[in-house]
A and B are shown apart, each in its own frame.
Chain A
Amino acid sequence: MTTTLHQPFFQHALTAGTAIALASGLIGYFLVLRAQTFTGDTLSHVAFTGAMAALAGGYDLRLGLYAATIGAAVLLGLLGRRGRPDDVVIGTLFSWILGLGTFFLTLYTTHRSTTRGNAGTSVLFGSLYGLDGVRTATAVLIALALTAATLLIARPLLFTSLDEAVATARGVPARALGVGFLVLAGACAAEATQAVGSLLLLGLLAAPAGAAVRLTDRPYRALALSAVLAVLQMWGGLTLSAAVPPLPPSFAVMAVAAACYAAAALVRPAPVRRTGP
């Protein structure tokens, strides 16, 4: 295990993973607070289609990822009432988009190359160990930029998320913030797709934030806790996958995340519901 820890691929995975987890933890908290987990899910599916379209067209995978997720985020923000789209509309749209992704996958695997037949699997489930130095540096820079941007709008965003009507009355641009936040979430989804894959990205967004919301009611503390938990989960997962080689890293990260969430749910079972839905 110690030899694995010193390998460059592991160090790259650790560096990029930490930065990505930090951004995902912060953005995930707002997603959970605004009850937009389903939107995060959609973005992850869109990421798959974007990546596959870029590969099938012969472009860089990341170009497709960012174009697709940010495009989808803007679309979802504008489509929905006050930046919070309807579940059925999202579901319908994303199931078709995912279908389109399989179309591109077929195009890519049968047309472009026969050696990269597992490209679909690596986009779906991530290839954290496949990052090289340059891609790690880019991933870290983008993740840090996302973190900074999220922290910058954290205060007004928190206000609109908790009480939209009052925030609007006080002159906070709720709609613009909603769309802006979705764009950040989209970029974060594209970033995290490269680490844990488009299917497992939801766990990175939802699990630490869900646990943080369980553990504390105070917004800023929860926000920080969510980021810390996300980073710890990434470290725990990577260590676990280094210790037990047959476990793929994305599975290990997910397993640790789910365990954390379950532990948080056990520590503080059911919160008192103030108002019934």
Chain B
Amino acid sequence: MLLADPAAPAFSWNLLADFQQMWSYPFMVNAFRAGTVVAVVAGVVGWFTVLRRQTFAGHTLSVVAFPGAALATLLGLSVPLGYLGACLAGALVIAALRERGCSGGAEESAATGTVQASALACGFLFVTLYKGLLGGPQALLFGTFLGITTDQVVLLAVAGGLVLAVLALVGRPLLFASLDPDVAAARGVPVRLLGTAFLLLLGAATAEAGQITGSLLVFALLVVPAATARQLTARPAPGLALAVLLGLAACWLGLLTAYYQPYPLGFCVTTFAFTGYLLAHLARALRGRSGRTPRPTGGPA
């Protein structure tokens, strides 16, 4: 029971011709540009997220993006600005909750869960009030590649460049603080400040990724490529490069598939990202069996 639209362009396996045909539409060019920016930023930030075990925070931020975008639509503002504003505000809230000493364990996850559910509820309210949103809340929740304008791509690129620049500046101390917060604090690294700064970066990256995959599927570009990369290597530099490459691959393949199929972009991107993750697991299992010592899983607890 697969869908087939006779009016849809057909994939010819001649990649050059396919891309030429696809890129004759400005919106597809913009979609690919935006996807590339997002995949790079999300891959790098995601690697740190997985290392710092803040995937739940990443998920919450992505969920906060939904009411932001819905409110921006309701008020007639720029949607990317709505994403960014909501995510940065959400990051500050999470950081503030953390500052108040309820980090770790049950308390924090209950707080995050509550923030998340009420954010979604607000988004639902805004969408209900707006009524005219094409396809209901689903475009915001599950992603679309239609209607990305050149202005939005520029905004994405500027915000992404800023995130990467800040991350390049704080990268080394952040890595230190993530791997061993106690020793880093003893050595004079401002661990807490770095934590807040990283949450802000995570917010910005999430806002970017949310515009491609939709706010519910941000994980596909943020966490899955990074988790896959960490399956394959534990070293920072190759890991970061691998995460970016995997994110790019998932995003481009997803866009390509979504162009030729009626299925939503979010589904395509998550499927490719998840396939990569499974393959990485398989490769690791095979490597472990062939006699090499398996690498330790995960980062610091």
A contact residues vs B (CB 8 Å cutoff)? 32-35, 37-38, 40-41, 45, 56, 86-88, 91-96, 98-100, 102-103, 105-107, 110-111, 117-118, 120-121, 124-125, 199-207, 209-210, 213-214, 246-248, 250-251, 254-255, 257-258, 261, 265, 269-271, 273, 276-277
B243 at the interface (CB under 8 A from A): no
Tell me whether B50 is interfacial, beta carbon within 8 Å.
yes
Contact in complex: B110, A92 (CB < 8 Å): no
The answer, among A120, A199, A257, for a CB contact under 8 Å with B114, is A257
> Is the beta-carbon distance between A107 and B1 smaller than 8 angstroms?
yes
Which of the residues A99, A106, A213 comes within 8 Å of B106, measured between beta carbons?
A213
Would you call B224 and A95 a contact (CB within 8 A)? yes
| B137 adjacent to A202 (CB under 8 Å) | no
Among the 9-residue stretches B25-33, B81-89, B118-126, B193-201, the one with 4 or more Cβ atoms under 8 Å from chain A is B118-126
Q: Is B212 on the interface with A (CB-CB < 8 A)? A: no
Partner of B100, one of A105, A118, A269: A269
> Contact: B118 with A99, CB < 8 Å?
no
B110–A37 touching, CB < 8 Å: yes
Q: Do the beta carbons of B270 and A35 come within 8 Å of each other?
A: no
The prevalent SS among residues of B at the interface is: helix
Chain A to chain B contacts (Cβ below 8 Å), 14 pairs? A91-B55, A91-B219, A92-B277, A93-B274, A95-B219, A105-B138, A106-B267, A121-B138, A124-B137, A199-B124, A202-B116, A203-B113, A210-B111, A261-B111
Q: B residues engaging A (CB < 8 A)? A: 1, 3, 50, 53, 55-56, 59, 100-107, 109-118, 120-122, 124-125, 128-129, 136-138, 141-142, 216-220, 223-224, 227, 262-264, 266-271, 273-274, 277, 297-298
Q: Closest residue of chain B to A38, judged by CB?
A: B56
Quick one: given A33-B106, A124-B137, are A86 and B298 in contact (CB under 8 Å)?
Answer: yes
CB within 8 A of B217: which of A34, A41, A99, A246?
A: A99
- Residues of chain B contacted by A117 (CB below 8 angstroms): 136
Given contacts A88-B227, A270-B101, A270-B102, A106 and B3 within 8 Å (CB-CB): yes
Partner of B270 from the list A99, A209, A258 (CB cut-off 8 Å) is A99
Which of chain A's residues has its CB closest to B228's CB? A92
Residues of B near A202 (CB, < 8 A) are 113, 116-117
Hey, which chain B residues are within 8 Å of A88, CB to CB? 50, 53, 55, 223, 227, 298
Which residue of chain B has the shortest Cβ distance to A56 in the bound complex?
Answer: B1
